[in-house]
Amino acid sequence: MELRSKFVKLFGNPESAHVLKVKFFMQWAEMPHEYEFIDIFSARETRNPEFLKASKFAQVPMLIDDGKSYIQSNAILMHLADKIKFFKSDEKRQSNLEWLVWEANKIGMCLPQLRAHRMFDGCQLSQGAYDWLHDRYIHDVNLLNDELNDGRHFILGDAVSPADFSLCAYLMYAEDTQVDVPKNVARWLQRLKTLNGWQDPFQMLK
């Protein structure tokens, strides 16, 4: 199957906050695209052949953009930001990239596993693993809280950036995950929910 050119399509599922990062950014930036739900709990071989052909790991999110496929949520965010010439300087681009890498190793590492432990059969953690991940989350979310302590509206100042969309995604599922969100982070999340393009994830990604 040949991928169609001059065409943008995102494949996702509402259970993945990695998809939320990308979809929320695309809706905020008003980037025309199609969206297709993928049942991530189905056998991989039963999924859409277009998706399987283009997605190296058969995982969401996966983006097709002008005939090329892109995987891994933070890499997709950087691709889309570059595509719309979001970054006005190399310094701004580097600052965003640093936060995206931080997210992948911190919030984006522990929260998905803590949420799966609460939500999905067969994903329960040992008490030791749960405690370790929860302690990491508390440490990391408080670092984020301290970063926002100066009253800035968003993570890199008064303007939203791709870093915000990456960092916020799994925190939008904090109630499911049954974790506490500190004050500055909670206020920042509320500001993000007022942005153009925000919807409840289970509406946005259905």
What is the domain range of residue 77?
Answer: 8-85+199-204
Are 10 and 195 a contacting pair, CB within 8 Å? no
Is residue 116, in this structure, part of any structural domain at all?
yes
157: amino acid identity, one letter: G
Q: Are residues 169 and 96 in the same domain?
A: yes
Token pair recorded at residue 167 = 């960092």
**Are both 73 and 118 inside the same structural domain?**
no
Domain shared by 97 and 181, yes or no: yes
| 171 and 116 within one domain | yes
Task: Look at residue 150 and tell me if it is in a domain.
Answer: yes
Q: Is the dihedral of CA 161, 106, 64, 97 positive or negative?
A: positive
Per-residue pLDDT in tens (0 to 9) along the chain, 206 residues:
334 446 899 999 999 999 999 999 999 999 999 999 999 999 888 888 889 998 989 899 999 999 999 999 999 999 999 999 999 999 999 999 999 999 999 999 999 999 999 999 999 999 999 999 999 999 999 999 999 999 999 999 999 999 999 999 999 999 999 999 999 999 999 999 999 999 999 999 99
pTM as predicted: 0.94
100 and 187 assigned to the same domain = yes
Same domain for 79 and 172: no
* Residue 130 β-bridge partners: none
Which CATH number goes with the domain that contains 36? 3.40.30.10
**Structural domain count of the chain:** 2
- 94 and 172 housed in the same domain: yes
